[in-house]
Structure 1
């Protein structure tokens, strides 16, 4: 009996050895024969089952006991139908070849194990776990016990200890096989994942032995060295793929790393290639075994050409930006979302010399404004300085334009805009010259306007200004606010001009115009030259009686000048005047009609002997006076 158990334990060791051999040899042997993973796995498990049966313990003549079930179960459960067919056929053929009384029951047990395993595989789905193995071990052990104790089985007369021990050992064998395969699967998956990642990475990964010969190189390394298969790199050194001088330098570098057990980190190197210069970043580290001895070197090299080009462009852009910021005429300042100054150019500080020491990165806007208040750098600040500081600080994060004047007389425009990331960008432009030009243009415009509306000889308003004033005042005239106009004509002026000459005539008109200006009583009263020797006085909010009083006053001033006029019946310069009054709205031709009425009144005055005043439509004695 002891011999039987020794044989079975040896059988168990054989099963474990077969599983390990399959795991180690499968990656290298399977591709050589062109077999699929499932077929090779089934053949390996079937071979293990054959070996297990060959080393089986013969309990009675023709009745053998072994651990073939664990291998057949593993083939079907983990390899699927293809692996199950290979393993089952090999096991069945060998068991039939062994013959004996238990051949039929043995074949039935193999087939039952295969069927149960395939059913469990289907139930488990895509991911088989150890619990599925345990359940299958229980089912398989139960099936084996039932088959062994069936009425037709020659095994039913075996003792309970032998039968139970055999079933238990198979149970353990199935669990052990499943555990080993699951563990090997996980290790293989992690290894393959790592190998694939290294092999397919765009960076250069490689491992060298202590003699600097390649033991591993990924596809990028092989491709760079114009070698089709990375496996062909194994055993080569840098002397086989690089120029002698560079290979020698790399060899000395790696010897030093492995001698010191240290590392090389981020060494940049520029190499000339077919398409120009390429930049590479290399790191290497010595590899130690479990005892701490150096057994080789691992390295990674990365192509950083694009990064170097980008860095160059960034440096050039930065230098260009600095130059632009330095040479630009505007001041520029960038504030963070909390109001802290992040950046400003020199021009920005030059605009504010009194607070330039505060306008540096890291200073809060409130500190800068407090400095403005303390130094009185900005004029026209409100009395409540604290509120002003808070308003400016809060308004920093809203788009706005602001015009300020400094104590140095500079006028500045500050345009603030909020960026997409909630920062505030302030652009300061000096507008001193612009403001001065604006004032100059405004003054010129006013002068041109004055010239356009002023008579060149007398300095009074011209006909254009008169027409505009009459139209405006006529619209405002009402019964309560009548509008009066006086048309004035210098008597016998043509005779005066002919007798004294045009220069004296012009001087006479100037003196009459001076009298009109002196007679003005209110700012809204307009004195204008109507044409030739004719003048016009516009009197808003004035009735006929008041207009007559104004005309009398004006007559006295003209006479008071005492300008000699040898051709006048009065011996001095005199003037005739016609008055008309508008006390309500007029039609569209109101101005023309008003001028016609004044002209008619003036005509009456001239017919009455000149040197008198007439009011249009009035015959009352009070309104018709003749001056002697």
Structure 2
């Protein structure tokens, strides 16, 4: 193109402008650089008066191709090639209008410029279209290799068949599924050559339905392979047509889903087992989302709350359920603002932890809440009425056992063990500056003689009457303790009681027992009487439990020695003030 030729006698032209433009159009700056340099160099070496015009036109032709390359970015289409060809025509003919005098234009234009412009345009168009077609061919070849590599590497089965179901193309995965060895062994054959007749007929029926409807279908197919393994396929079948829109075959894509179907079967079985387990649960189960709306429940949950079973359904808010339970009398009535009660109850139930509530019909329900990963709540409701009753009975029994363990069986007073525990507690809490507690040791005078005279049953009845009278008198003193100390001895502990008050109580006890007028022929008094010894903490050197017990015991013996039916104190200085009751 760059070699000059005699276009007209005396006129030498070349097609360098076509070369420059298409080099830039298809190759970009790198491809256009060499032709541009050669064209400029040859034109400079040629010299002549047209040099100043030729160089800008060479640049213009190169620039037109580069500009088109910049904006097209790909294989140029016909319109782009036409535009660049016109730019070539302009670059090749513009010099004539500059160098040829205007009066010669009528001669030069039809004889030189027009034919040369046509030659430039045709050469640019033919060259561009030839290069474009070659590039498209190379691109198609590359794409075919890529597609072929993808299809062959595809782990799923991909194949094409003609209208009669004969394979016309297949990838290795299809050959492996069909156990045909290679994909080439499939060509020209049908499913009847590889599958049992019944299986092949089912597959062919699907293909005929596809060709009849002309629409792609997605189906799941089950068959038994030649090795006896049951296989599942997810199959996409689509028709393909010729240029006139007439179907000429079908394309099939198969993906083996045997493992998925097995997992689905196992999942379905697990879900059935879970549903059976939930249905047979002894506890109610309910799930709520993070907003407090119910999303799941089992049958037992509805059985636990029969009055509100109709509102305990999927999508119902827990607050609405609680409101219905209160309004219908299912939950035990509580005082206060109902909206506040509902809000607090909902917050408590949805929060992690255990909560017990008593229904209006007397049943006890325990709600155990655990938070799910999604922020919702899983709640197990259990009827604990029986266990609560058992617990209450056990607590009552324990209290009775405790009372029995601390109660004297004959008199009904506290026993010696309870007395010791109470005294330990009072002594440990007594102040060093305040008098008390005071201890009164009471003994029924000559009780052995009473038993010998009247017998033990009568003696027991007598002792019980005396114990009851002592308990009645001491009951008016707060937190006082009356216990059977041993045999016919009764001990009384009066907290925060000084010596004077203790002496007063002791004299009253003697008088009250004497006034009961219980006959006692074995006593010189002729009736049942008691002797009382008293001792007060922090008085007369009494500083501890041992001192208190010892002092009271000594005072009791002193009362007996003084003739019985009297009171004595652990402080000898008080004896002068003690008057026989």
TM-score range, shorter chain: 0.7 to 0.9
Q: TM-score, normalised by structure 2?
A: 0.76
Measured at CA, do residues 456 and 364 of structure 1 come closer, stay the same or move farther in structure 2, by a change above 3 Å?
same
Measured at CA, do residues 232 and 356 of structure 1 come closer, stay the same or move farther in structure 2, by a change above 3 Å?
same
Match of 1:607 in 2: 561
Match of 2:223 in 1: 270
Task: Classify the secondary structure of the residue corresponding to 2:222.
Answer: strand
Asked if 1 retains the 8 angstrom alpha-carbon contact of 2:326 and 2:333, the reply is no
Runs of 5+ in structure 2 lacking a partner?
8-13, 31-65, 86-111
Match of 2:291 in 1: 338
State which of 515, 523, 537 in structure 1 corresponds to 2:492. Answer: 537
Asked if 2 retains the 8 angstrom alpha-carbon contact of 1:486 and 1:578, the reply is yes
Match of 2:518 in 1: 563
Give the whole-Å Cα distance in 2 for the aligned partners of 1:564 and 1:212: 127
Give the whole-Å Cα distance in 1 for the aligned partners of 2:460 and 2:141: 120
Give the whole-Å Cα distance in 1 for the aligned partners of 2:146 and 2:540: 101
Between 1:314-323 and 1:256-265, the stretch displaced more is 256-265
Alignment of 1:143-154 (within 5 A): none
Between 1:329-338 and 1:260-269, the stretch displaced more is 260-269
Measured at CA, do residues 366 and 129 of structure 1 come closer, stay the same or move farther in structure 2, by a change above 3 Å?
same
Measured at CA, do residues 474 and 585 of structure 1 come closer, stay the same or move farther in structure 2, by a change above 3 Å?
farther
How far residue 272 of structure 1 moved from its aligned partner, in angstroms, is 4.6
Alignment of 1:589-604 (within 5 A): 590-604=544-558
State which of 224, 234, 243 in structure 2 corresponds to 1:281. Answer: 234
Measured at CA, do residues 463 and 411 of structure 1 come closer, stay the same or move farther in structure 2, by a change above 3 Å?
same
Between 1:612-621 and 1:596-605, the stretch displaced more is 612-621
Match of 2:309 in 1: 356
Match of 2:571 in 1: 617
Alignment of 1:228-243 (within 5 A): 228-243=181-196
How far residue 269 of structure 1 moved from its aligned partner, in angstroms, is 2.1
Give the whole-Å Cα distance in 1 for the aligned partners of 2:397 and 2:216: 81
Give the whole-Å Cα distance in 2 for the aligned partners of 1:584 and 1:186: 120
Task: Classify the secondary structure of the residue corresponding to 2:519.
Answer: coil
Match of 1:28 in 2: none
User: Is 1:515 aligned to 2:469, yes or no?
Assistant: yes
Runs of 5+ in structure 1 lacking a partner?
1-48, 50-56, 60-64, 81-119, 138-158
Q: Deviations over 1:12-50 (max 9, x none)?
A: xxxxxxxxxxxxxxxxxxxxxxxxxxxxxxxxxxxxx9x
User: Is 1:324 aligned to 2:277, yes or no?
Assistant: yes
Match of 1:442 in 2: 395
Asked if 2 retains the 8 angstrom alpha-carbon contact of 1:486 and 1:537, the reply is yes
Give the whole-Å Cα distance in 2 for the aligned partners of 1:526 and 1:516: 11
Measured at CA, do residues 476 and 290 of structure 1 come closer, stay the same or move farther in structure 2, by a change above 3 Å?
same
Q: Deviations over 1:582-620 (max 9, x none)?
A: 148999x81111100101111211221222110111434
Give the whole-Å Cα distance in 1 for the aligned partners of 2:443 and 2:386: 50
Task: Classify the secondary structure of the residue corresponding to 1:460.
Answer: coil
State which of 486, 494, 498 in structure 1 corresponds to 2:448. Answer: 494
Measured at CA, do residues 387 and 246 of structure 1 come closer, stay the same or move farther in structure 2, by a change above 3 Å?
closer
Asked if 2 retains the 8 angstrom alpha-carbon contact of 1:130 and 1:178, the reply is no
Measured at CA, do residues 256 and 501 of structure 1 come closer, stay the same or move farther in structure 2, by a change above 3 Å?
closer
Supply the RMSD in Å over aligned alpha carbons.
Answer: 4.3
Q: Deviations over 1:539-585 (max 9, x none)?
A: 11211121112111111222123233233221222221110111489
How far residue 249 of structure 1 moved from its aligned partner, in angstroms, is 4.6
Q: Deviations over 1:66-102 (max 9, x none)?
A: 99989x989x979x9xxxxxxxxxxxxxxxxxxxxxx
Give the whole-Å Cα distance in 2 for the aligned partners of 1:372 and 1:445: 36
State which of 495, 503, 507 in structure 2 corresponds to 1:552. Answer: 507
How far residue 514 of structure 1 moved from its aligned partner, in angstroms, is 1.8
Give the whole-Å Cα distance in 1 for the aligned partners of 2:435 and 2:147: 104
Task: Classify the secondary structure of the residue corresponding to 1:279.
Answer: strand
How far residue 253 of structure 1 moved from its aligned partner, in angstroms, is 4.5
State which of 329, 334, 337 in structure 2 corresponds to 1:381. Answer: 334
Match of 1:254 in 2: 207
How far residue 461 of structure 1 moved from its aligned partner, in angstroms, is 0.8
Measured at CA, do residues 239 and 326 of structure 1 come closer, stay the same or move farther in structure 2, by a change above 3 Å?
closer
Q: TM-score, normalised by structure 1?
A: 0.71
Match of 1:96 in 2: none
Asked if 1 retains the 8 angstrom alpha-carbon contact of 2:530 and 2:565, the reply is yes
Give the whole-Å Cα distance in 2 for the aligned partners of 1:602 and 1:252: 118
